[in-house]
Structure 1
Amino acid sequence: MVRDDSDERLTVRSNRAAFAVVLAWLLVALVPSPVTASIGGEIDESDIRLRAVDATDGLARYRSNPDAGEYEWKRDLPCWSRFPEIDRTSNEVCWGGSAIQHDPPVCEDGAALQPIWRRLRSDVTWWKQVGWHCPEHLLPEMTEEDFRLLSIAPAPAHMQPTGGEVLVNKPTIVFTEGGVQTFRTDLLGYGIDVEATPLTFTWDFGDGARPLVTAELGRPYPDFDLARTYTTPTRTHITLTATWTGRYRVDIDPLHKWRDIDGTAFTTASTPDFEVVELRSRLVTP
């Protein structure tokens, strides 16, 4: 199944990210930050991504017009990489604590990018805006929350027999239809392609028994791949919950690479209500 949702926009994500970028600029402007680190020595991935984009934009603006603005910007190795020739003016900045990432990370999309520094033109001290970072950190990331904002068409819940009644002690067949759904949308102002693929199907037969979880679509009669036999009369319906995985591709990615979304989305569909009935045989006088 193919969908082209050109008007669909991840506005919640965009608004949240826009606010985060503005907040980051304010923090950088008001309080110089020599390290990219979090409590306990663990470097936060989302923090690196935000800082990397922010600092790269600042560096690009500076390079386009080096005489404009109150800051100078540069890419440079951390001072510990140049030991013992430590730059005296950045010595205090370099030795900021054990939480600093001293070695280049292993990146998916190529060699790690050097840290970015800036300083006031009136000052001698360089302050680090972001440490080692990867090419992929400069691309928008589609999260599980973003993925769940897409209008994925539910996998339909089909059953046999149809007609509003099924028999006790006779198999009731279920099946669905599934395939990759494609979307065209944007994330933080960047165009992206998204694919949603069904992973598992969970059938709840409404009889109080454990649901049937499978990766199979099932098939209609005369096949009985997916079926449930009701043992008592009741009135119920069958609910199908599909679990979807996703991947995305960003227009500005020079590798034009598909990237897996870390998380899943869910859709739900149900059959109409039906009766589970019991047929009893009885002797009649001819």
Structure 2
Amino acid sequence: MSIGIVAALAPSMAQAADGCGFVVCTEVKHSPGAITAAHVEQSDGGQYFASNVAPPAPPYRYQLSPPCVVDDRENGGCRPSDFRTCPSPPGRIVEDLVLERQNLVLPDSPTTIDGLTPLAGAAPGTPVGGWDQMLRACIDITALNPPPSPGEVFRYFETLPLPQLLTQHQPPGNGLSGLPVIFYTDSSTTQTFTVDIRGFTVVIEAAAQQFTWHTGDATGQIVTTDPGLPYPDQTIEHDYRSGTYTAYLTVTWGATFTVNGSAPADVPGTTTTDGPPVTFDVLQARSVLTNPYD
């Protein structure tokens, strides 16, 4: 996924985590599919930390990319093995990332630390050469405060108070055996939520994608992609034998999201809600001879 967001951060005091100190910088820039960082270091406990606080005259700059982005860049596809989850302590953002670095021109030196020769007159700190892939690891990027990832947005999406859609049926009240029962819902099938995720304004547009009508009898379920319509334009019908039945509707919700007004992106997953049940009787109609002159 390409990220094209520049996140302005307020300066903060130095923070320490697992013996690795860093200071949050005032600006974080994102290149397509990657997060740039001025410095990456490893703590005594083995955890990697990225920040934009570099030592004096740093020899490298860094970028951190999701493995799937690197695989797609190099091989034109994303392998299933490119997905894994990193444990994140409370208040920390730790992601599975590929670490790459690029040489920078050193002060008062005609070369870089790795012996690359820059263009004549290149100022100290000028990038030289391409990106060298270093390692893949779980890297703490809290200090960079990157925009919320799709996975992070999905975790919020799962907790949203999505509506529980009502099941409507016709005929209202009791049905008749031999006469199909019509199902539909007239509840709203879209909803917009605005949430704050680490200081970013995230707008989530939820929409119903699938409707599972639990009929309450042995035939099971009816699955549709539309919410149905009432008579005479009905699209969802079910035949019942006489008896008492309880039906309800399960809705599968998908969503898109924006971050600080960015282009919409898909939330990578769905969630479901169950609507309240509705109970009705289906009666057996019997013909009775009558005298039309009575």
Report TM bin, short chain: 0.5 to 0.7
**Paired residue type of 1:275:** D
Paired residues of 1:173 and 1:220 also in contact (CA < 8 A): yes
- 1:171 Cα offset (Å): 1.1
Distance in 1 (CA, whole Å) between partners of 2:281 and 2:19 is: 59
Distance in 2 (CA, whole Å) between partners of 1:23 and 1:219 is: 59
Distance in 2 (CA, whole Å) between partners of 1:192 and 1:75 is: 30
Q: Which residue of the partner structure matches residue 120 of structure 2?
A: none
Distance in 2 (CA, whole Å) between partners of 1:145 and 1:170 is: 44
Distance in 1 (CA, whole Å) between partners of 2:255 and 2:45 is: 39
Tell me the SS of whatever aligns to 1:218.
coil
Q: Which residue of the partner structure matches residue 220 of structure 2?
A: 210
**Paired residue type of 1:279:** A
Distance in 1 (CA, whole Å) between partners of 2:172 and 2:62 is: 70
Tell me the SS of whatever aligns to 1:280.
coil
Distance in 1 (CA, whole Å) between partners of 2:258 and 2:149 is: 10
5 Å-filtered alignment, 1:129-278, equals: 138-143=146-151, 144-163=154-173, 165-177=174-186, 178-230=188-240, 232-251=241-260, 256-278=262-284
- 1:239 Cα offset (Å): 1.1
Paired residues of 1:200 and 1:213 also in contact (CA < 8 A): yes
Paired residues of 1:176 and 1:217 also in contact (CA < 8 A): yes
Distance in 2 (CA, whole Å) between partners of 1:197 and 1:265 is: 11
Distance in 2 (CA, whole Å) between partners of 1:180 and 1:23 is: 44
Paired residues of 1:247 and 1:258 also in contact (CA < 8 A): yes
Distance in 1 (CA, whole Å) between partners of 2:159 and 2:60 is: 38
Distance in 2 (CA, whole Å) between partners of 1:205 and 1:31 is: 56
Q: Which residue of the partner structure matches residue 30 of structure 1?
A: 44
* Change beyond 3 A, Cα 1:278–1:179: same
Distance in 2 (CA, whole Å) between partners of 1:114 and 1:157 is: 54
Partner of residue 115 from structure 1, selected from 92, 98, 101: 101
RMSD: 4.2
Paired residues of 2:19 and 2:44 also in contact (CA < 8 A): no
Distance in 1 (CA, whole Å) between partners of 2:42 and 2:149 is: 22
Paired residues of 1:115 and 1:129 also in contact (CA < 8 A): no
- 1:115 Cα offset (Å): 3.1
Q: Which residue of the partner structure matches residue 97 of structure 1?
A: none
Q: Whose helix fraction is larger, Structure 1's or Structure 2's?
A: 1
Paired residues of 1:167 and 1:276 also in contact (CA < 8 A): yes
Give CA deviations for 1:194-244 in whole Å, capped at 9, x if unaligned: 1111111111110110311111221111223111111x2221121111111
The answer to which structure, 1 or 2, has the higher relative contact order (CA under 8 A, 6+ apart) is 1
Q: Which residue of the partner structure matches residue 282 of structure 1?
A: 288
Tell me the SS of whatever aligns to 2:43.
helix
Report runs of 4+ in structure 1 exceeding 6 Å deviation: 128-131
**Paired residue type of 2:148:** P
Give CA deviations for 1:172-198 in whole Å, capped at 9, x if unaligned: 111113432111002234221111111
Identity of aligned residues (%): 25
* Change beyond 3 A, Cα 1:76–1:203: closer
Q: Which residue of the partner structure matches residue 121 of structure 1?
A: none
Paired residues of 1:180 and 1:196 also in contact (CA < 8 A): yes
Give CA deviations for 1:7-50 in whole Å, capped at 9, x if unaligned: xxxxxxxxxxxxxx9579699422456xxxxxxxxxxxxxxxxx
Runs of 5+ unmatched residues, structure 1: 1-20, 34-50, 78-99, 118-123
Distance in 2 (CA, whole Å) between partners of 1:275 and 1:76 is: 68
